[in-house]
Each structure stands twice: as C-alpha cells, then as structure tokens.
Amino acid sequence: MRPNTSLFSSLLLLGLALATMAGAENRPDHMVYLRTIDPGIEQDVRYASAHNFTGHPLAGYDAAECLLTVETAKALARVQTALRAEGYGLKVFDCYRPSRAVADMGRFATEPGDPRKAEFYPRVDKQDFWRLGYVARVSGHSKGSTVDLTLTGPQALPANKWTPAAAPVDCTAPYEQRWHDGGVDMGTGFDCFDERAHPDNPTINATAKANRQRLTRAMEKEGFSGYSKEWWHFTYAGEVAKKEVMDFPITPLATRDVVDASQQLIVVTSKNWEDIQGSAQRYERDGSTFKKSGDAFAVVLGKTGMAWGKGLFEPGEGPVKREGDGKAPAGVFKLGTAFGFDPVAQTKLPYLALTPTTECVDDSQSSRYNELVDGSVISKDWSSSEHMRNEDVLYRKGIVIDHNTPAMPGAGSCIFFHIWRAHTAPTAGCTAMDQADISRLFNWLDPRETPLLVQMPEAQYEQLREPWGLPQR
C-alpha cells in the first residue's frame, strides 16, 4: 500500500524547511574536502547541477565539491593509489549529502513532474523509489562515510559536457550510446534506477562485469562495502561509524581551509615572475600558525621563470603555465610520490624505484598525459615522454608535485622536485635543489601531515599570505 502522498509531502516540506533553517551549521572538524587529500581523484558532483534524476540542483549543494570524513577520504586515496598502479582511477559523483538534500529528493518523489525520467528511471514510478531502495529517507551519505563513484581507465570514452539541451538517453542503453561520464563501461550510467544497476545483475556484458569486479575489489581491500541496488555506492567501515546525520551546506573550497588542514609547508619564492632562482623554507604547524623547520635553502626554477599552474586553486592574475613553456608552476600543490634510482628509500612518502622503462608522458594527446608509467607494459599512445632513469643525476632523487592533476591537455606535465645540475642551471619547469636538500625533504615529509608546496613570486606571496594563513617569510 502506498503512503498518503499528501501527508508525506507535507512532512517532507516541513523537514526541508527545518533543514534550511539549520543552514548556519558549520562543517565539523572531522569532515574534509577530498581535493585536499587527493586532488587526483576526479569529481563530477551531480547533485550540484541539474544533471541528476530530479532535474535540479539539490538543496545544500552550494558548490560541486566532495566532502568526506578524514578517514574515509584517506582510505579512498589509498584505493586511488592502488588503481593507478593498474592504469585505472576513480571519479566521484556524490559524497557527503546534507540532510536537506535528502528531504529535497523526497519532496521531488511525491510531486508531479518527471523532467529526467527518460534518462534515469524510464521503467520506474518515482513514488516507488523508497520501496525499491533507490532513495533513502535517512541517507548514509549524510554521515560522511558513503561515496558514489565510478572507475576511470584507458578504455573510457571521454566525458561529455552536459547542458540542459542535451538529449536524454536511457541509462541502460549500450555504453557507446548513453551519457559518457568519463568512466569505463559499468553496465549502466550513474543513478540508474533499474535492476541492471544492481552489482550482481547477470544481464550486463562481460566487460562491465569485469569493471564492476575491479572497482569492488579495490574498494573492499581498503574497508569499503557495497550496496546491493547500486554498483556505484560504497560505505567505509574502517572507522567507528558516525551515527549522526549532518546538514551543513557544501560550500566552495577556500584556500584558508586547505592551509589550515596542513601540518607541513614548503614555501618557495622568487624575486619576480622571470627569475630562475628562488629560496625555499620548510615550516611545521605550531597551533594556529607555522614555525620554521631548519634553514632556508636555494632552488632553481624554470628557464623562463614561473607562471600560475593548475594546483588546488584557480590561477590568479599573471602568466598562466602551458606545456613546454619552460616555466615552473606557481600556486598551492599537494606532493605525491617520491622516486629515485635506489630500490628502496628512507622516506614516509610512497616511493617508486625508477627502472630503464619508467617514463613520464608529456604528450597532451595521450590518455596517460602527465603520468609516470612503465613503458614496457603499457600500450603506448604517446609520441613524446621523459625517460626517468638515465645516466643523468637529476632524478636520482625526486618528488612528484601534483600539478595539473587530473590532467588537462596542454596545461603542463611532469613537474617534480629534483636534484639540480648547478645552482645557476634552470630547469624545463621543475623546482631543483642540491641533493642534500632533497634528501632532507625525503626524511622530513610525512603524508599523514598533509604537506603542501606553496610556490610563487615574493609580491604575490605577500599579497596572499594573510588571507591564506601562510607564515611570514
């Protein structure tokens, strides 16, 4: 028997109104932006747009950002690292969901109108969403440990750019025909309210089955469990479950939020945009501020200086980095894998021992653009790359700077900390230093401390230092 939709709709409206009144709720300390933990995980937060089953942005989604509990975000980053080693990756569609957005979904399901039915639920009556398990009255997403995502990889078709004029295509249509979300074939699209979206549905093709299994194995290995009605839905069980639902709105990521989450900073400044030499200083958090760690040390930059890069924030006013321009990227960046010639290294960072076949792809037309790959085991679709292991000493020790991650064609690639040729010899776009200094970074950096690189000319640093909460040089 169906519920009294009029009464239920009234209750939902009341719940939505009460949730909206709670809009002043602040983000709890245990909730973080996924971008600050792993900027390499792609994001397409559907409920911040009209491209979802309701046909409108949901209440509380004031920005297209993924937020999760700290432990969930770190676990998801571990999944990403494991998948990257296999040539795959993650793309999230939804993470934390304010409870007002859940009420918004419920309201939609009781009111007239089906603007996106043809794409998301062509064979389902929306009043049956709850009975069929596609919509919950209280969502685990509101507790911060549940995520909706897909698998990216070399067989994925490029993502389409959605506009309201896009023709709706049944989410169960063949992979080549339905909406291209940038993921590999998973048997259906995201938020497809249909039995074919059930993870163990036997009617999907062998490729989709294999992709679902790959995603599920990777997620389960790091403590996530799936859901029987949706192949994209996983909940992290590796921490004490948060019982309370939350309703703080999802707002744009602010630079101050990222800096406040970091316990280790490396600040690199130069005299101006064209300068090829700079100064670096390590800092450690001391309460609400930072204190210096060790002495400042010299670095060399790109042969044409610096330009705003693609880091955790949009470029400011000034030159913008492009592939092959000889400029080191300015901005705020996460630090990735350490690498070197030695089979093992004394570092807390993840470490990659370089081999004669390790390459960094700088061909912007390649699906592996801006990635370190083993050229002996991957089918090559690139015409140029940098061979990382050679007689040169530059990469005897290095650290990946997460610039242009996920990669945007032409925005620049293969940016590292590495050993310099000399203190007067600029780089092709990296930041280089004496071997003793990079050895100190190997020993000092700790990924658990969310280290960041802040790199820019002195004038820009001084302009941004106070609003961003950066230390005084």
Q: What's residue 313's pLDDT?
A: 83
Q: What is the mean pLDDT of residues 335-341?
A: 95
CATH class of the domain whose range is 5-236: alpha beta
* Mean per-residue pLDDT of the chain: 91
Q: What's residue 22's pLDDT?
A: 41
Instruction: Among 148-152, 237-241, 267-271, 364-368, name the one with the lowest average pLDDT.
Output: 237-241
Q: What's residue 241's pLDDT?
A: 55
Q: What is the mean pLDDT of residues 397-421?
A: 95
- Please give the single-letter amino acid code of residue 366: S
Q: What's residue 414's pLDDT?
A: 97
Q: What's residue 242's pLDDT?
A: 60
User: Is 90 exceeded by the pLDDT of residue 272?
Assistant: yes
SS3 state at 25? coil
The residues spanned by each domain of the chain are: 5-236, 255-468
Kindly report the number of other CB atoms within 10 A of residue 266's CB atom: 24
Q: What is the mean pLDDT of residues 350-361?
A: 95
Active site residue 317: no
Do β-strands 42-43 and 397-401 pair in parallel, antiparallel, or remain unpaired? unpaired
Confidence category of residue 151, pLDDT binned at 50, 70, 90: very high
Q: What is the mean pLDDT of residues 405-434?
A: 96
Q: What's residue 240's pLDDT?
A: 60
Encode burial over 5-44: b for 16+ CB neighbours within 10 A, e otherwise. eeebbebbeebbeebbeeeebebeeebbbbbbbbbbbbbb
Q: What's residue 264's pLDDT?
A: 97
pLDDT tens, position by position, 56-112: 999 999 999 999 999 999 999 999 999 988 889 999 999 999 999 999 999 998 899
Q: What's residue 384's pLDDT?
A: 95
SS3 state at 35? helix
Q: What's residue 39's pLDDT?
A: 85
Which residue in 230, 323, 359, 371 is the catalytic one? Answer: 230
Question: Tokens in use for 364?
Answer: 């912007």
Question: Whose CA is closest to 267, among 399, 436, 462?
Answer: 462
SS3 state at 156? coil
User: Is 60 exceeded by the pLDDT of residue 332?
Assistant: yes
Partnered with residue 94 across adjacent β-strands are 148
